[in-house]
Structure 1
Amino acid sequence: MLNVLLISAPYVDLYGPIKSAAGRYFPLGLGYIASFLKKNGYSVSLYEPEAQKLNIEEISKIFAEKKPDIVGIGSATPNFYNAVELAKLAKKTCNCKVILGGIHASAIPEFIIEKYHTCFDYLVVGEGEYTMLELLKCLENKQMPDSVPGLCFWHENKVNLTPCRPFIMDLDSLPYPARDMIPQELFYPNLHNARYSKCFTILTSRGCPFNCSFCASGLTLGKKYRVNSAEYVLGEMSMLKEQYGARQLLITDDTFTINKNRLLEICEGMIKKKLNLEWFCFSQITAVDEETLKLMKRAGCYNIGFGIESASPRILKIMGKPYSPQQCKTVIDAANRLGMKTQAFFVFGEPEETIEEINSTVNFAIDINPTLSFFNMLVPYPGTKDFQYFFKDIPLDQIDWKNFVAIGTKSVINKNSNLDLEKIVFNANLKFYMRPRQLLHIISKIKTFHELYSYIKGGLGLLAQMITWKTETRQTDENTLN
């Protein structure tokens, strides 16, 4: 059978000065594919260069020693060029087929395969488990894979895009991600989420039914919300506790709390099994209430994040958000009363957003009093409504994808916007965090020395990034005057 090597494209350097606060996460997507292929009899190896501190020479040596028949690369939008370099290295080092998967490949597959078909033999569009399995079988049998749904490839000097693959409905049929392939002590979360060193990521659902104008998640995982059963989730949590000594979980679902019955079943199961795990999750504002939050806290949820985005009803409507600022305040107030650590995420730069609306949002963030606020410049990823607005007249080969970073160091839309987003984000962070009350609020939520160290290191990273923003803004102002 074919020998498969899966690897993530490097990404951390794209974060600029704030990279010191960035986590190293086990690649769950590739991890699921690895365990699925292994279950079906294939020899699979898995690498995450950032966590394993692998440079180009070391990766080249791995390619040469492993001699894989297949190299599968996982990539998002900003690290796409790193995926290209990995593909070139694989082609140079070993006689292999190279497959690219991830959100960028799913967003613009025809453009990528037309321009980079000398690097990538195939692109996986959408979920990867069954597409990879069926593709490998075709390659083994020397068959044309044009009958495999969810593929894009170059053949007879043209792009071939097969029909979309239906999304996997029975997620419980998939084995747990292949965490045993990489030492788990190499991974750690973004520092604002680090309470214990034994922290693990877990994905319990796929798909998001919401339609946010800037979010590209649905390109790979779809709009239909599909879940692992509570039994499956509790089994994986118990495994992480027993085999790896987990003390903390980051639940990485887009919105963990949508299915209330399943949420209650998971929480009650965690309490009954006495897992004693502390955990973080994301929630949509309309998907929780105070009673639900109480149960979540009893089950170990000490930390919850909400994508609030704006205090302007007009901007919320443009973004496709189905809630009001008052609903946001009500939910944050409830979580704060329960003693939970709360995180609020905001986005600046939506089409036609005014500086007055942005200033109102910053004041709103102060008013609702989350533990942490994240003020982000809009990143309109390909495949989203916002991308069509800002980049519809720009050829794809003229776009610099490495700047499409969610916590970016520079705005990718300033040329198309009258807002100085770097300056705005700098001022928002300054106004929110440089208040004694806010600093005391943050300190009150620190419960371990590991968490204290992480906050200090993360805060220094944010400070370094703010200095960079300030310097770049000053240089821009000087150039404008000259």
Structure 2
Amino acid sequence: MLAYARPGDTVHISEMFRLVRGNQHILDVLDVLHRDRLALRIHDGAFSAMHLTARHPRTDELLSTVKFMVQTLAAAGELQRELTYDGLRAAEAKGNKGGRRPAVTAAKTDGVRTAYLEKAQCLDRVFMCPNGIGASSSSPVLADGCLVYEYSACKCSWSVRTGVLLNRPFRPPASGDEMTLKVLLANAPNPTDNRNASNYACYPHIGIIQLATATREALGDRVEIRVVDGGISNTETVQRAVRAFAPDVVGVSALTPTYSEALKVAETAKTCGAKVVLGDDHAIFFPEMILRNRPQIDYVIANDGGEIPFVELIRALIDNTSMSEVSSLAYRHEGQVHLNPAPKYALSLRNTIPDLSFIEDVIDVYADNYRTQFGHLHGHQVRPVTVNNARGCENGYKRCTYCSIADLTVNTGDPRGFWKTIDQYNREHGINLFFEVYDSFTASPRYVDALIDATPPHLKRRIDDGELQVMVYARALGLTKRNNVDKLRRLGVTRANIGLDAADPEMLEAQRKNKTTGETNLEAIRMLNKAGISVHASYIAGAPGERPETLDRTIAGIRQMLSEVELSSVEFSRFIPLPNSPAWDLLVDYERPNFFKSTAEIDDYLAALGITVTREGREEMFARFGDQDLLDIDELGAFWADNFTHISEKYALERIGEVDEMVSAHNVRTGNNVG
């Protein structure tokens, strides 16, 4: 319902707890209403007399009185629901069915639905009332899909029960048979020799499955959807799938390293007559540039939460309506590139569980790949999958120098949804290893506590017995606080992936690690070892200002780690500057930085590292990389080493090779992007 509403609309609900559950959920919804400029009217209950959207004129925060009343009344609502559930269970025990009796008969509901679909007596929309069916083209209209509104033909008026009061007319479906759109969703393969890459091949790309599920749930039989994960195949395989399926729309998910392969898939799709939609991080970085440079791309979704915009786009294509109403969409119109506003979507309002039946035929491929690489870490057979019920990082306000994640704002979903996903995947698909790809699991202590409190008893027993396991990303500094390691253990975490990055204090500072030290890293891993949680550690060679002696200290730190703690795997990679990162400010966005405060701050940062870039050098950098949507990763790496470090790329790669040999000698798995 909230996804359908537009700025200026009014959300009508009978009483607050028809829309939300609990204190935090109420606050999340109020933030969404404020962000999307929606009014709220509550018709009944304790909240009906309150102006819940009132905010402080200077800080734009909810008034403290509103927060206090929300917390108080939410607690009362929880008690009310508990009493209601007790009453329902008592009624059920006596053979009675609890709940409110329908205000409208099933026959009348069917009549309204039939009239609407056949457009009988309908101009803009059919409404329901106890006396019959009516409609008015001059009246404001209501959200699509709701059959609980009343319209009185005899009184020529209507009243709202629950829903969204829109300030625009609803467009009915086109006459005749509804078309079915064939949609293929693909994850662009890794371009490195076009082989399987271990960072993709062990876990499904849950994002495209989420898109497929949300689209099917919203549009039903109006779409036929197929999902192809390039992470476990290659570009030619994806291209063959496109030709065989002959889709009307091809959606491709692309990161900066995989964008070149995404363009190849897009070219194939265009030759088959399909519309091509690009999404994911790289699309978010360069939406307008991509449309100017790449005729094979028709649309770009520039939002980290792409489900709602994608559904809106597919609906617009089916109904042949304007693209100007599709949120977060970049598109061409009359020779111009347009970019629609991109709202932020709260994960707490999303309840769609990605349907793994879209990839049922290849789930075992991921399991086999994982067992080949990491089966020795488990005492039983595992079937892994990724889940994404939360996003963001506690270091988001000052992100790491290399970090190019589109949005690091902490955005957590419903804790009950996390456990519902685990329960469903285990029962229906035998999944028993869940990789929560939350950018940093320690970013929201309140969310972690809520997950513990929401753990269903039957799943808790299986976690304690080792039958269900969880993997997470975490920051070392966060792990040493708030008893977080013990909390991870209670949640069934058996493996943590930590970006240690360096053991040299100068390089940790250069990578903006926010007070993290080599001692902090070592302490965190000792705590994880003690809790029985294995550790995947990652390091980077070639950070800004890297020198031979700083690299020596990092390698010495890795050697110390191997001798004092247990690591399941070690990844040592070269530094690659990517768009939407502080490193990109240094390389390209010097004049208009996104993560440094000013060019002066950049100059001071580089000067402290002994790096000087001339005006001519700046001009060369921008000419080579500044107006390009297709970037050569190898060229970027070499150019970075030559201009922003005191070592060569060749030297960095040689030292990485030394570390790989040292790690392997300790029977620890190594390589780029493992896990």
TM range (shorter): 0.7 to 0.9
Contact 1:153-1:160 within 8 A present in 2 as well: yes
Q: How many residues align?
A: 435
Deviation at 1:341, TM superposition (A): 1.4
Match among 343, 351, 355 for residue 548 of structure 2: 355
Matches of 2:239 and 2:572, distance apart in 1: 39
- Specify the structure having the higher radius of gyration (Cα): 2
Contact 1:253-1:282 within 8 A present in 2 as well: yes
Match among 206, 215, 218 for residue 403 of structure 2: 215
Instruction: Check 1:433–1:22 CA distance in 2 against 1; reply closer, same or farther (3 A cut).
Output: farther
Matches of 1:238 and 1:317, distance apart in 2: 42
Deviates more, 1:325-334 or 1:283-292: 283-292
Deviates more, 1:68-77 or 1:9-18: 9-18
Deviation at 1:90, TM superposition (A): 1.1
- Alignment-derived partner of residue 288 in structure 2: 110
Q: The residue matched to 2:462 in structure 1 has which SS?
A: coil
Letter matched to residue 189 of structure 2: Y
Q: How does 1:403-482 map to 2 (within 5 A)?
A: 403=633, 411=638, 413-416=640-643, 417-431=645-659, 433-434=661-662, 438-439=666-667, 442=668
Contact 2:500-2:539 within 8 A present in 1 as well: yes
- Alignment-derived partner of residue 373 in structure 1: 570
Q: The residue matched to 1:187 in structure 2 has which SS?
A: helix
Instruction: Check 1:22–1:38 CA distance in 2 against 1; reply closer, same or farther (3 A cut).
Output: closer
- Alignment-derived partner of residue 73 in structure 1: 252
Deviation at 1:279, TM superposition (A): 2.4
Structure 1 gaps of 5+ residues are 443-454, 466-482
Matches of 1:51 and 1:431, distance apart in 2: 27
Deviates more, 1:11-20 or 1:150-159: 11-20
Letter matched to residue 46 of structure 1: R
Contact 1:4-1:72 within 8 A present in 2 as well: no
Deviation at 1:123, TM superposition (A): 0.4
- Alignment-derived partner of residue 23 in structure 2: none
Contact 1:35-1:176 within 8 A present in 2 as well: yes
Any idea what the Cα deviations from partners look like across 1:199-248, whole Å, max 9, x if unmatched?
1111121233421221121x2xx232111222111111111211111222
Q: How does 1:202-351 map to 2 (within 5 A)?
A: 202-209=387-394, 210=396, 211-217=399-405, 219=406, 222-267=407-452, 269=455, 272-275=460-463, 276-289=467-480, 291-325=483-517, 326-351=519-544
Deviates more, 1:121-130 or 1:294-303: 294-303
Instruction: Check 1:399–1:104 CA distance in 2 against 1; reply closer, same or farther (3 A cut).
Output: closer
Instruction: Check 1:44–1:388 CA distance in 2 against 1; reply closer, same or farther (3 A cut).
Output: farther
For the aligned residue pairs, the C-alpha RMSD in angstroms reads 3.1
Answering whether residue 356 of structure 2 is matched by residue 179 of structure 1, we say yes
Match among 210, 227, 233 for residue 32 of structure 1: 210
Contact 1:205-1:227 within 8 A present in 2 as well: yes
Deviation at 1:55, TM superposition (A): 6.2
Matches of 1:52 and 1:192, distance apart in 2: 14
Q: The residue matched to 1:213 in structure 2 has which SS?
A: coil
Match among 157, 172, 183 for residue 335 of structure 2: 157
Q: The residue matched to 2:497 in structure 1 has which SS?
A: strand
Deviation at 1:347, TM superposition (A): 1.6
Deviation at 1:14, TM superposition (A): 1.3
- Alignment-derived partner of residue 137 in structure 1: 315
Deviation at 1:103, TM superposition (A): 0.8
Identity among equivalent positions (%) equals: 18
- Alignment-derived partner of residue 587 in structure 2: 390
Q: The residue matched to 1:25 in structure 2 has which SS?
A: coil
Letter matched to residue 532 of structure 2: G
Matches of 1:137 and 1:55, distance apart in 2: 28
Matches of 2:228 and 2:580, distance apart in 1: 26
Matches of 2:586 and 2:319, distance apart in 1: 44
Q: The residue matched to 1:380 in structure 2 has which SS?
A: coil
- Alignment-derived partner of residue 473 in structure 1: none
Any idea what the Cα deviations from partners look like across 1:178-203, whole Å, max 9, x if unmatched?
21111222324666544444111111
Matches of 1:435 and 1:111, distance apart in 2: 42
Deviation at 1:402, TM superposition (A): 5.0
Deviates more, 1:425-434 or 1:300-309: 425-434
Contact 2:540-2:573 within 8 A present in 1 as well: yes
Any idea what the Cα deviations from partners look like across 1:52-86, whole Å, max 9, x if unmatched?
64763x65564455443221111111121211111
Matches of 2:296 and 2:437, distance apart in 1: 31
Any idea what the Cα deviations from partners look like across 1:433-476, whole Å, max 9, x if unmatched?
5379833xx4xxxxxxxxxxxx6xxx6x77xx9xxxxxxxxxxx
Instruction: Check 1:333–1:61 CA distance in 2 against 1; reply closer, same or farther (3 A cut).
Output: closer
Letter matched to residue 248 of structure 1: L
Contact 1:13-1:19 within 8 A present in 2 as well: no
Q: The residue matched to 1:274 in structure 2 has which SS?
A: helix
Q: The residue matched to 1:233 in structure 2 has which SS?
A: helix
Q: The residue matched to 1:40 in structure 2 has which SS?
A: helix
Matches of 1:429 and 1:297, distance apart in 2: 34
Letter matched to residue 302 of structure 2: V
Matches of 1:43 and 1:169, distance apart in 2: 26
Deviates more, 1:426-435 or 1:343-352: 426-435
Q: The residue matched to 1:38 in structure 2 has which SS?
A: helix
Q: How does 1:184-199 map to 2 (within 5 A)?
A: 184-188=363-367, 192-194=373-375, 195=378, 196-199=381-384
Structure 2 gaps of 5+ residues are 1-178, 589-620
Answering whether residue 192 of structure 2 is matched by residue 14 of structure 1, we say yes
- Alignment-derived partner of residue 122 in structure 1: 299
Deviation at 1:429, TM superposition (A): 4.8
Instruction: Check 1:69–1:366 CA distance in 2 against 1; reply closer, same or farther (3 A cut).
Output: same
Matches of 2:306 and 2:353, distance apart in 1: 15
Instruction: Check 1:55–1:274 CA distance in 2 against 1; reply closer, same or farther (3 A cut).
Output: same
- Alignment-derived partner of residue 147 in structure 1: 325
Matches of 2:311 and 2:183, distance apart in 1: 14
Instruction: Check 1:434–1:368 CA distance in 2 against 1; reply closer, same or farther (3 A cut).
Output: closer
Matches of 2:200 and 2:479, distance apart in 1: 28
Q: The residue matched to 2:529 in structure 1 has which SS?
A: helix
Deviation at 1:149, TM superposition (A): 2.6
Deviates more, 1:231-240 or 1:266-275: 266-275
Deviation at 1:122, TM superposition (A): 0.6
Any idea what the Cα deviations from partners look like across 1:281-319, whole Å, max 9, x if unmatched?
110122223843234234432211111212333333332
Deviation at 1:172, TM superposition (A): 4.6
Q: The residue matched to 2:321 in structure 1 has which SS?
A: coil
Q: The residue matched to 1:160 in structure 2 has which SS?
A: strand
Instruction: Check 1:438–1:294 CA distance in 2 against 1; reply closer, same or farther (3 A cut).
Output: farther
Contact 2:191-2:261 within 8 A present in 1 as well: no
Deviation at 1:267, TM superposition (A): 4.4
Instruction: Check 1:172–1:339 CA distance in 2 against 1; reply closer, same or farther (3 A cut).
Output: same
Instruction: Check 1:335–1:425 CA distance in 2 against 1; reply closer, same or farther (3 A cut).
Output: farther
Matches of 2:196 and 2:557, distance apart in 1: 25
Letter matched to residue 316 of structure 1: L
Q: The residue matched to 2:213 in structure 1 has which SS?
A: helix
Q: The residue matched to 2:352 in structure 1 has which SS?
A: coil
TM-score (normalised: structure 1): 0.80
